[in-house]
Amino acid sequence: MLSKKMEKALNEQVGMEAAASQKYLAMAIWCDAEGLEGSAQFFFDHAEEERMHMMKIINYIQESGGLSVVPALAKPTQKYADIKAVINAAYNSEKKVTKAIHNLVDLSLTEKDHATYNFLQWYVAEQQEEEVLMRKIIDKIELIGKGPQALYYIDQAIFKTGQEAEAN
Ligand code: OFO
């Protein structure tokens, strides 16, 4: 059985995952409008993934005798200077989510809620992977540099890095 404190904190995480999904959807649309098809696919896939993360927490709250709350969401920005700004925003967003997950883990320990602690370990590993993924993409963008075909190669690199991460 979840404590009220734990239930509230998990519901806040539901909101964060939902907001991440919306944010990635907006990024996907931006990329698509810029003709960056590979990057658009990467973010469409990621938006789905974040929704899955949200659903996983909702199911856990329900199974644990709590009540999930469907969050209200702010409209994400659809304006970016360039693809680098999009990836940097995604990386910063992942870092925030990681912090929130770690705070949840801390709370599960103070609440002596071992089931939730165990449940959250999946998210700890997932956040680690997502940060690595974003950093890999940032490194590739730096490597490709600013040549005339740079955008084409960056788009391919984003798509390919996403596919590789999914396959693992
Ligand atoms: Fe839900 O993993 Fe990213 O934010």
In three-state secondary structure terms, 134 is helix
Instruction: Indicate whether residue 21 lines ligand 1 (CB < 6 A).
Output: no
Mutate to test the pocket of ligand 1, among 12, 17, 121 (most ligand atoms within 8 A of CB): 17
Check residue 167 and give its pLDDT: 86
CB 90 within 8 A of CB 136: no
Q: Whose CA is nearest to atom 4 of ligand 1?
A: 94
Which residue carries 């949840």 as its tokens? Answer: 104
Max Cα-Cα span within the chain: 58
Check residue 90 and give its pLDDT: 98
Q: At what angle do helices 150-167 and 37-63 cross, to 10 degrees?
A: 30
Instruction: Indicate whether residue 32 lines ligand 1 (CB < 6 A).
Output: no
* Helix and strand counts by DSSP (H, E) for the chain: 5, 0
Owning domain of residue 150: 4-167
Q: How far is Cα 126 from Cα 17, in angstroms, rounded to an integer?
A: 12
Count of the separate structural domains present in the chain = 1
Check residue 28 and give its pLDDT: 98
Ordered mean pLDDT values, 10 residues apiece, the chain (168 residues) = 96 98 98 98 98 98 97 96 97 98 98 98 97 97 93 96 88
CATH number of the domain encompassing residue 8: 1.20.1260.10
